Amino acid sequence: MSVPVYEPLNTLKEVGPGIWIADGDIIKMDMLGFGVPFSTRMTVVRLKDQTLWIHSPIDPDDKLFNEIDELGEVKHLVSPNKIHYAYIAEWKKHYPDATSWSSPGVQKRAKSQNIQTDFDRPLKDEAPSDWSDEIDQLIFKGSRALEEVVFFHKESKTLVLTDLIENFEPKRTSNVFLRTLYKLAGIAYPNGKTPIDLRMTFAGQKEQARDCYQRMISWQPEKIILAHGRWYAQNGTEELKRAFRWLDKS
């Protein structure tokens, strides 16, 4: 099934000072009862001590590992939510001294899928001292199904999201089913947002989500990196306001 990917794959691409992305190949995820192909993307931050913080690691290969090694020592492997963890075990095997960080619910999900992933420390609502001077964070609350940990890289003014905004480009696939699904789910470029199935899980608890959204707005991001689809290289705060209109009280 044809789905847009962002070549070149498995190579570092600079986003701003001290921050890179690497686009990965396709994975299949359950969405609205279908096995839907998703493009993948991870984020790498080089901290002031020259060690690396890696968000939602993608399926690696030797080329990517070599580029990472040239950049610095891998110190942190981050699962931002319970469905973004599958490759952390492989990265941990390659970098055994790195700390693996668990998101809410991820250990239970991994166990239910018989995937052996041992995490060292849990992510909380405030950034740990390991990176708090450089990266802020919060747990986006309100969903009955998925709590995502979101991050803000201060130096580059970049918000790092995972599934809270998806932004697929219908024109980059010839598959009619996918083009229709992107539009129905509300995740079609340029107006990507939280997928409709995830939005529905906030019913009756949107006030918690609004509080988290307001904190993200207070960061005034200039860029927004997404795990799936085209990310926003500019106008980050305005795109954030647009994408979260579904939280309006009206």
Distances (CA, A) of 178 to 2, 100, 107, 218: 8, 34, 31, 35
What's the pLDDT at 5?
87
The string of pLDDT tens digits covering residues 86-140 is 999 999 999 999 999 999 999 999 988 887 888 999 999 999 999 999 999 999 9
Give the Cα separation of 92 and 50 in Å (integer): 19
What's the pLDDT at 116?
80
Task: Annotate 18-80 with DSSP letters as a single string.
Answer: TEEEEEEEEEEEEETTEEEEEEEEEEEEE-TTSEEEEES-----HHHHHHHHHH-EEEEEE--
Distances (CA, A) of 87 to 9, 41, 90, 131, 192: 16, 12, 5, 22, 26
Instruction: Tell me which residues of the chain have a pLDDT lower than 70.
Output: 1-2, 30-34, 250
What's the pLDDT at 193?
98
- The dihedral formed by the CA atoms of 61, 63, 67 and 68, expressed in degrees to the nearest 10: 10
The string of pLDDT tens digits covering residues 221-234 is 999 999 999 999 99
Superfamily of domain 12-245: Ribonuclease Z/Hydroxyacylglutathione hydrolase-like (3.60.15.10)
In 10 A of CB 47, how many CB atoms?
Answer: 18
Q: Which two tokens stand for residue 158?
A: 């970049």
